[in-house]
Amino acid sequence: MALIVQKFGGTSVGTIERIEAVADKVKRFRDEGHDIVVVVSAMSGETNRLIALAKGIMDEPVPREMDVLVSTGEQVTIALLSMALIKKGCPARSYTGGQVRITTDTAHTKARIQSIDEANMRRDLSEGRVVVVAGFQGVDEAGNITTLGRGGSDTTGVALAAALKADECQIYTDVDGVYTTDPRVVDTARRLDRITFEEMIEMASLGSKVLQIRSVEFAGKYNVPLRVLSSFIDGPGTLITLEEDGNMEQPVVSGIAFNRDEAKLTVIGVPDVPGIASRILKPISDANIEVDMIVQNVGADNQTDFTFTVHRNDFNKAKAILTEVAESLGAREVRGDNKIAKVSIVGVGMRSHAGVATKMFASLSEEGINIQMISTSEIKISVVIAEKYLELAVRGLHSAFDLDADKNATGV
C-alpha cells in the first residue's frame, strides 16, 4: 500500500462529467488500498475568467485582492470532487490551502511555499478518507490568502508529496506525458518514457508549460518521484528522474521548448564606458520588470548596442523607461520588437557532444530563418527569431535532431 499524491489539471476537472471521471479514477486507486491525497486546479478557463473580471475594474489589480479572487476557482473544484467521491461511496474531505495550513511568503500572485502542516491530512488518511486539497493557494503568516503563480497547482501537488513523503506524485493532465516538444504544435512529437529533473527544469523554464518550473525544482530538491500522465487514457506517462538512464544511449537533444511571451528591446549607439549595463538595466529592475536574455556588442566606432528581452506584457512599460534612459545616456536610438519568439533545444547529452550549436543554426538557415539573439548554457541553446517562423523552426529542429516519432518507432 502506497501513499500517492494525484494532481488533476483544469481540463481534467473542466465539466461535471470529467469531475465524476476523476472521482472514479481516484476511487479505483483507493479501492486497491492506497492512501490518496488529491490536488485539483480550477475548472479550465476559470482562472482566466476571474482575471478578466478583475481587469474589468482596474488594469493592474491590487495583488492581495487578486489572490482572494483567483483562489476561488480551486475552492469550487475541491468541493465538487469531494461530493462526487462521497456519492460513489468513497469517504473524502476537501481543504483549501489555508485549511491545510500551506504557509507561504507574502508575495501575492507569486508566493512561495514555506511550510505545510500535515496533521489534518494524516488524520483523514488514517481514518480512511481521501484528502482533496485546493491547488495554487496558501496563506501567509498573517492569514492572507496567497497564490503560487500560473500553473501553481503542480507545485502544490509536489510540495504535499514532499511533506507527506509520498511514494509518488502523479500529475494528471490532457496529454499522456512529457513530449519531445508540445504535441499540440508538432504532430510528430514523441512521448518520453523518462526525462531528468535537470532537463525538465530547462524545458519548463524555456516555455514548456506542461509542468510549472517550481514544481520540478521542488521535486528535484526533495527527491519526489514525479510522473506526468493522462487523465483520460491509461498509460505509463513520463517519469521525471534524478539520473540519466544508464542503459540507454543519451540523446544529444531530448526536447525542444519555445516561448512566445517575450519581447526584445535594443538601445543603439551607447557610449562604450564602464557602468552602462547597470545604468540601462537598473531602472528596468526598479520597475519590477524581469529581464531574460541580454546581448551587448561593441562596434568599430566604440559604441555599444545593448539588447535584452522582457515579458511581452512589460514591453510598453520597459520601452518607455528605456527611452528616458537612452536620452540621459546620449544613445542614438531605442528599438523594440514584440513579435519575437524564443526557441530552445535542451539535452544533458549536449555536455559530451560538439557541434550541436552548428547543427541547430544550419537547420534554421535551411529554413531561411534569421537568428536575432543566441544564448547558451551547458544543456541548452536558445535563439530568438521572428514569431512568424516559430512553428517552422520547431518542426525543422525536431527532425534535425532525430526526435520525430516515426524515426524512433521503438521509443528509444
Binding site for ligand ADP (CB under 6 A): 9-12, 41, 151, 173-175, 178-179, 181-184, 208-210, 255
Q: Which one, 60 or 187, has the nearer CB to ligand ADP? A: 187
Residue 242 is classified by DSSP as: S
Q: Which does 372 bind (CB under 5 to 8 A by kind): Mg ion, ligand ADP, ligand ASP, none?
A: none
Q: Which does 98 bind (CB under 5 to 8 A by kind): ligand ADP, ligand ASP, Mg ion, none?
A: none
Residue type, 28: R
CA distance 363 to 396: 6
Q: Which does 259 bind (CB under 5 to 8 A by kind): ligand ASP, ligand ADP, Mg ion, none?
A: none
Q: How far is CA 159 from CA 131, 223, 322, 408, in A?
A: 15, 11, 39, 35
| Residue labelled with grid coordinates 487514457 | 233
Closest by alpha carbon to 166, among 119, 92, 117, 225? 225
Q: x/- string (CB under 5 A) for Mg ion, residues 125-164?
A: --------------------------x-------------
CA distance 266 to 356: 28
| Segment interacting with Mg ion (CB under 5 A) among 6-14, 27-35, 140-148, 380-388 | 6-14
Closest by alpha carbon to 256, among 292, 196, 213, 206? 206
Q: Is the dihedral of CA 112, 115, 117, 121 positive or negative?
A: positive
What is the smallest separation between the CB atom of 261 and ligand ADP, expressed in angstroms? 13
Q: Which does 104 bind (CB under 5 to 8 A by kind): ligand ASP, ligand ADP, Mg ion, none?
A: none
Q: Which one, 70 or 178, has the nearer CB to ligand ADP? A: 178
Q: Restricting to residues 146-165, which ones interact with ligand ASP according to CB under 6 A? A: 150-154
**Beta pairing class for 102-104 and 145-147:** unpaired
| Segment interacting with ligand ASP (CB under 6 A) among 39-47, 185-193, 316-324, 329-337 | 39-47
Residue type, 202: E
What is the smallest separation between the CB atom of 331 and ligand ADP, expressed in angstroms? 38
Is residue 136 a contact point for ligand ASP (CB under 6 A)? yes
Q: Which does 175 bind (CB under 5 to 8 A by kind): Mg ion, ligand ADP, ligand ASP, none?
A: ligand ADP
What is the smallest separation between the CB atom of 242 and ligand ASP, expressed in angstroms? 24
Is residue 207 a contact point for ligand ASP (CB under 6 A)? no
Is residue 396 a contact point for ligand ASP (CB under 6 A)? no
Is residue 173 a contact point for ligand ASP (CB under 6 A)? no
Q: Which residues contact 398 (CB under 8 A, 6 or more apart)?
A: 180, 181, 186, 188, 189, 256, 404
